[in-house]
Amino acid sequence: MEYRLNPENERVPFSVGTDIDYRWEEKQRQDDIKIADSGGTTILAGPTFKIGSRESLSFELGFFYPVYQDLGGVHQELKYESTAAVQFHW
Question: pLDDT by residue (tens digit) across 65-81?
Answer: 999 988 877 777 788 99
The whole-angstrom separation of Cα 76 and Cα 90 is 41
- pLDDT on residue 54: 62
Q: What angle do CA 41, 15, 69 make, to 5 degrees?
A: 10
Q: What is the pTM of this model?
A: 0.69
Per-residue pLDDT reduced to its tens digit, 8-26: 766 778 888 999 999 888 7
- How far apart, in Å, do the first and last CA atoms of the chain sit? 22
Strand partners, 82: 63
The domain spans of the chain are 2-88
b/e for 48-76, b at 16 or more Cβ within 10 A?
bebebeeeeebebebebebeeeebbeeee
